[in-house]
Amino acid sequence: MSEKIFIFDTTLRDGEQCPGASLNTNEKLEVARYLEKMEVDVIEAGFPISSPGDFEGVETIAKNIKNSTIAGLCRAVEQDIKCAWDAIKLARKPRIHTFIATSPIHMKLKLEKSPQEVLEQAVQAVKIAKSYCPDIEFSAEDASRSDPEFLYTIFEEVIRAGATIINIPDTVGYSQPTEFGHLIKDIKKNVPNISQAVVSVHCHNDLGLAVANSMEAINNGARQIECTINGIGERAGNASLEEIVMALHTREDFYNMTTNINTRYIYPTSRLVSRLTGFVVQPNKAIVGRNAFAHEAGIHQAGILKDASTYEIMKPQTIGLESNQLVLGKHSGRNAFKNRLSELGYTLDKEKLNKSFEQFKQLADKKKEIYSEDLVALMSEVLVEDMKDIYELRYFHINTGNSILPTATVSLVKGGDIYEDAACGDGPVDAVFNAIDRITGVKVKLSDYYIKALTRGKDAQGEAVVEIKDNGNSFVGRSISTDTLEASTKAYLKAINKMLSRQLKCK
């Protein structure tokens, strides 16, 4: 039977301490509600004495959240402890979380206290906290740089004073996984009354090892993990909740551990925290990054289409995503391209599939990512009735700027012969149209012309629509390209070709 790991979320305390991540009371409550839906065991709602706003946020969460334990952080100081209790006392399940630094560098330079003074202060703080609340957590700040023998002593004494959880933080992200695992194992071995408390860890990510250290701590006896959504927090952040939870979920065969977390709320909560803090989740972030379930390589896509387990070790639906994402780009294969067209409702014969795939590859060389709108636009050109163009575009060159007269050179092919000419205009588009007019010898009225973006981003495709009139007849040309000048040139030429084709039929 799997053993339970308690998830202690400190997004609203340590996460909010990240510069620029400040949240107001309503925003904190909104995040807390999602954490409750996710069924985290403990929500550390803030540091009540740090500001009136933080007190209000903790108090509001304590009043409104019913299913998770609500913790308030406080220094090992009586005034802090009373303030924390005042903020959380209306919680259905309150916890006072008190801390003091235990490393030689912190005790000497920050606290200016001897180890004995720190020990006495820690014990007294736990006793005071216990008088308010039965659920007491004690943290030895900077434990990973502390003397292990001192940690054994202070943990034994605070447990005797009433602490129900002892927390071993890697406050500055200094520890290495094997080293941190040994520390947890040695604490379990050398603190006589350790069985009376839950062992917790709180790891920072300064060396990118917060999750690795947390998982190694689990292997060595830790049963509460302190973490944050998206790994936000002081400096390089904290251990990521989503990575720890999904590692335990995906590799239960290895860890033989489980959590209460409703994983389907992981992705929505990640997006909420990102939106409220303004901190964008990096695309390749494990579990919740935009690319975490995205596949572009043709070989990968072919495997995914046959069986998702070929390249996905967890289902996107597990974290609250509707599906994985086969990203169409220059590395995509024919199978993925055909599958996406089918999803959009297009069924092509072999000839048209080959033709459209070639055009897709040309487009993919210009764009980093192909969206569904791009494919719809591509199909609108591939599936139109085949018409032999009288003039075909060979190339166009434009010289323009805000201090020179726009000039265009155009080269067209007709019946195997090449025709070239140049013209000026009021702008680059007008210059191109004039050059085409000179080559084709037509005299038409431009009745409408516009460009619209079909997709997102700077490399979005633009659709150019040109309408010309000749003797009361209208002819419309459309073309798409990531280059709006190219789209405009081709659209105008299509309209000219339609007009010339009609004139030939009427003769």
Q: What pLDDT is attached to residue 351?
A: 80
Cα–Cα distance for residue pair 172/101, rounded to 1 Å? 12
- Looking at every residue in the chain, the average pLDDT score rounds to 87
Q: What is the pLDDT of residues 159-193, one digit of tens each?
A: 999 999 999 999 999 999 999 999 999 999 999 99
The fold for domain 392-506 equals: Double Stranded RNA Binding Domain (3.30.160)
Query: What is the structure's pLDDT at 489?
Result: 94
| Total-model pTM | 0.67
Predicted local confidence at residue 398, as pLDDT: 94
Q: Residue 387 has what pLDDT? A: 53
Among residues 42, 70, 67, which one has the least CA distance to residue 57? Answer: 70
The mean pLDDT of 401-429, rounded to a whole number, is 93
How far is 499 from 482, CA to CA, in rounded Å? 26
Q: How distant, in Å, are the alpha carbons of 61, 317, 396 from that of 226?
A: 19, 25, 62
- Tokens at residue 102, please? 């235990």
- Helical segments of 89-239, H only: 104-106, 115-132, 148-161, 177-190, 210-219
Q: How far is CA 409 from CA 319, 439, 441, 466, in A?
A: 55, 11, 15, 20
pLDDT, one tens digit per residue, over 227-264 is 999 999 989 999 999 999 999 999 999 999 999 999 98
Categorize the per-residue pLDDT at 122 as very low, low, confident or very high, splitting at 50, 70 and 90: very high
DSSP string of 289-302? STTTTEE-SHHHHH
DSSP 108: I
What one-character-per-residue DSSP string does 267-335 give?
Answer: HHHHHHHHHHH--PPPTT-TTTSTTTTEE-SHHHHHHHHH-GGGT-SS-GGGGT-S--EE-BSTT--HH
Question: Can you tell me the mean pLDDT for 439-468?
Answer: 80
The amino acid present at 497, given as its one-letter code, is N
CA atoms within 13 A on the CB side of 403: 0
pLDDT at site 303 = 59
d(CA 39, CA 26): 20
- When pLDDT is averaged across residues 107-125 and rounded to a whole number, the result is 97
Q: What is the mean pLDDT of residues 46-54?
A: 94
User: Which pLDDT does position 453 carry in this prediction?
Assistant: 76
The pair phi, psi for residue 39, each rounded to 5°, is 70, 40
**Residue whose C-alpha is closest to residue 330's, from 308, 309, 357:** 357
The mean-pLDDT minimum among 3-7, 64-68, 239-243, 295-299 falls in 295-299
Q: Which residues of 434-448 are buried (b: 16+ CB within 10 A; e: fewer)?
A: bbbbebbeeebeeee
Sign of CA dihedral 466, 470, 471, 474: negative
Max mean pLDDT among 135-149, 290-304, 330-344 falls in: 135-149
Give residue-wise pLDDT tens across range 256-295.
999 999 998 898 898 888 878 777 787 788 888 766 655 4
448 pLDDT exceeds 60? yes
Tens of pLDDT along 14-34? 888 776 667 889 889 989 999
Give domain limits for the chain.
Answer: 3-277, 294-382, 392-506
Crossing angle of helices 266-277 and 241-250, in 10° steps, is: 170
Residue 450 and residue 465 in contact, taking contact as beta carbons nearer than 8 Å: yes
Determine the Cα–Cα distance for residues 422 and 409; give it in Å rounded to an integer.
4
Find the angle CA(89)-CA(90)-CA(95) to the nearest 5 degrees.
45
C-alpha 360: how far from its chain's center? 28
Q: Determine the 3-state secondary structure of 133 from DSSP.
A: coil
pLDDT, residue 195, reads 97
**Architecture of domain 3-277 in CATH?**
Alpha-Beta Barrel (3.20)
pLDDT of residue 499: 84
The CA-CA-CA angle for residues 318, 324, 328, to 5°, reads 170
DSSP of 333-347 = -HHHHHHHHHHTT--
Three-point CA angle 177, 183, 185, nearest 5°: 100
Q: What is the pLDDT of residue 386?
A: 47
Asked if 3-277 and 392-506 have one fold, the answer is: no
What is the C-alpha separation between 80 and 73, in angstroms, rounded?
A: 8
How many other C-beta atoms are found inside a 10 Å radius of the C-beta of residue 45? 34
pLDDT exceeds cutoff 50 at 385: no
Q: Which amino acid is at 422?
A: A
Whether the pLDDT of residue 312 is over 70: the answer is no
Q: Residue length, the chain?
A: 507
* Band (117; pLDDT cuts 50, 70, 90): very high
- The CB density around residue 250, as the number of other CB atoms within 10 Å, is 15
Residue 240 pLDDT: 97
